[in-house]
Chain A
Amino acid sequence: QSVLTQPPSVSGAPGQRVSISCAGSSSNIGAGHFVNWYQQLPGTAPKLIIYGDSHRPSGVPDRFSGSKSGTSAFLAITGLQSEDEADYYCQSSDTTLNGPYVFGTGTKVTVL
């Protein structure tokens, strides 16, 4: 059981906007730890798509954006495309746990 909770699934039609929440607490997101997001296409390794709450690595489309408020973080995908169908994980650090990496529960994005 992760300390970062995500909805199991979200869906949207092509071109729509979807948002994925990542709910944490005062020992992780609320403590100011950066939130990062990963995309995992079926059968492949995860890929970093947002780091430092809201920064996109080179090559990641600008339809992906990240934000944070209080003890929660959010990943938005605007102009949803079929190739965005994947699992998405938030990740941060937690002052009560060992090590720098704690992952969210994961969200499956389905493009209708």
Chain B
Amino acid sequence: QLVETGGRATQAGESLRLSCTASSYIGDSFVTWVRQAPGEGLECVAVISPDGSRYYADFTMGRFTISRDTSKNTLSLQLTTLRVDDTGVYYCATGIGNYIDVWGKGTTVTVSS
């Protein structure tokens, strides 16, 4: 139901755009990107609420931008000034209330120095 694309190997300082296509309407849901560094836990990167409010994790420090297109049921994450510690699997997900009920399979971002 959620398919991510855009992950690849890149160099520190570069930019990437991750995309996610949903099979159903996303405008009524929280939509989020959650990442997982190799061997580590889950951390929420950014969220858009149904009313369009955006939330970002502190570690993004203005480098990442989340956006959605409810007419196309797509979600994007623009990553800039990438760092080595941004390496990981990035999951697109949708939620209801404060829980996440649908997850994509993830797309892998590898940042080398």
Contacts and interface: CB of A to CB of B under 8 A. Distances in A.
**Contact residue range for chain A?**
20 to 34
Contacts of A33: 98
- Chain B contact-residue range equals 20 to 34
B44 A57 contact: no
Contact of A45 (B58, B95, B105): B105
Interface stretch (A13-21, A76-84, A85-93): A85-93
A101 B91 CA distance: 14
Contacts of B99: 34, 36, 48, 51-52, 91
Main secondary structure of the interface of B (DSSP, over half): strand
Given A48-B100, A51-B101, A57-B101, A100 B95 contact: yes
Nearest to A6: B41
Contact of A89 (B42, B97, B105, B106): B42
Interface of A: 2, 33-34, 36, 38, 40, 44-48, 51-52, 57, 87, 89, 91-93, 98-106
Interface of B: 30, 32, 34, 41-44, 46-47, 49, 55-58, 91, 95, 97-101, 103-106
Given A98-B56, A98-B57, A101-B44, 15 more contacts: A2-B43, A33-B98, A34-B99, A36-B100, A48-B99, A48-B101, A52-B97, A87-B41, A93-B98, A99-B32, A100-B47, A100-B98, A103-B42, A104-B41, A105-B41
